[in-house]
Amino acid sequence: MAINFKGAAATAAIAMGLMFHLLLIYRAGKRRLTTREHRNSPPARAPGRGIIAAIGNTPLIKIESLSKETGCEILAKAEFLNPGGSIKDRIAVKIIQEALNSGDLVEGGVVIEGSAGSTAISLATVAPAFGCKCHVVIPDDAAIEKSQILEALGATVERVRPVSITHKDHFVNVARRRASEANEIARRHQEMEKIGRKNEYPGFCNLQEEKPHPVFPRGCKGGFFADQFENLANFQAHYESTGPEIWEQTGGSLHAFVSAAGTGGTLAGVSRFLQERNHDIKCFLVDPPGSGLYNKVTRGVMYTREEAEGRRLKNPFDTITEGIGINRLTKNFMMATKLDGAFRGTDREAVEMSRYLLRNDGLFLGSSSAMNCVGAVHAARLLGPGHTIVTILCDSGMRHLSKFCSPQYLAEHGLTPRATGLEFLDS
């Protein structure tokens, strides 16, 4: 059979031309799609190294129910999708990286922190990626699952009673001492190696036998106190990552940012970045019961009603929310140079909001995330319809099962949720 090579060649040429034309159309359409969807799409992420590369660039999601109810676009940064389950992954990486770079922490050393849970879990998650161990001092009224998670991650956990920050046995002060003790152990071990007494050094040691404390293994290369409240690597992490991501994902089209504060790093870092880009963006604090930050922002005076009336409890944070609220000004919080106001949130509002979002949006949130959404609605009502409000979903409800998400615990505290809509915010 004769083959018409000229016809075949012509057909092939036409087919190649058509494919090329379609490719041009596809690329042009893709460019238009990228431009159109840019504000809702996080930046592309190149393949990275290990768990550290998976931290950040979390989605910015629209909370449909709250947006519909307020007439505003309420967006939330889904930080519970970080590998360690919370926004604290960002600061854990920054703190450890800076400590290693400065020599305050060496590979094989122990990262030590006093934390109510989330920062500790993030440090325990990422420390092994840097070749380090983790020791955590946690108040014993924190949800028990947080200690269980920490131990499962390989951290050593020391639970202490909740007391004022001025007390030497406050969990933060205990953590600071443990870091000093670990460094002293490392120093003595190095001296013993130098004088050839390595084999005489005990496998485990306590520096003060009369007062037992957590043991550090032989060969411990010292401890580093992460100091999340005062370490400005906390603020810097959010100024360098969380803030820029929000700006990028909204295309700069937002009117307000709302967040609670514990260490103050998130509120300060994000607000500072956003307001440097656009000074018209309003930034608000939402504060739980027992915390003095609301009065500091609104009145310029740092006190709580409980302290003013002489009714201070053994734990001044008379709230079921964990990880937010404080009665002192941290270095991180003071980096928030311009806050436009503050909202007071209550335990009932946080509980009701968490159940409302679960029913209407399928969002299973922790106490601080729920409180942030309370603040977002307050901001939306203050500014009026047509505005874009951004807040943070710090973590999920997975580490709040025994308290904030427990029907029995809530019933014991008179907090059983009953609302069907947002009427709990109308009082």
Burial (CB count within 10 angstroms: exposed 0-12, middle 13-18, buried 19+), residue 264: buried
Rounded Cα distance, 286 and 294, in Å: 7
Specify the DSSP class assigned to residue 238: I
pLDDT in tens, 178-208: 999 999 888 887 777 777 654 554 544 444 4
Task: Pick the closest to residue 331 from 273, 266, 265, 390 (CA basis).
Answer: 265
Average pLDDT over residues 227-256: 98
- Indicate whether 322 pLDDT > 80: yes
Helices and strands of the chain, counted as H and E runs: 14, 12
Q: What is the pLDDT of residue 306?
A: 52
Q: State the number of CA atoms in the 13 A half-sphere of 340 facing the CB.
A: 17
Q: Which stretch of DSSP H or E encloses residue 390?
A: strand 388-393
**Rg of the chain on CA atoms, in Å:** 26
Q: Which residues, 6 or more positions from 412, have their beta carbon under 8 angstroms from its beta carbon?
A: none
If one counts every other C-beta atom within 10 angstroms of the C-beta of residue 59, the result is 16
pLDDT in tens, 6-62: 444 444 444 444 444 444 433 444 333 333 344 444 444 455 568 999 999 999 999
Specify the DSSP class assigned to residue 240: I
Average pLDDT over residues 248-274: 98
pTM of the model: 0.82
- Indicate whether 153 pLDDT > 60: yes
Q: Is 172 in contact with 116 (CB distance < 8 Å)?
A: no
Least confident of 12-16, 163-167, 214-218: 12-16
Mean pLDDT for all residues in the chain = 85
- Indicate whether 3 pLDDT > 50: no
Rounded Cα distance, 284 and 216, in Å: 43
Q: What is the pLDDT of residue 252?
A: 97
Rounded Cα distance, 106 and 133, in Å: 11
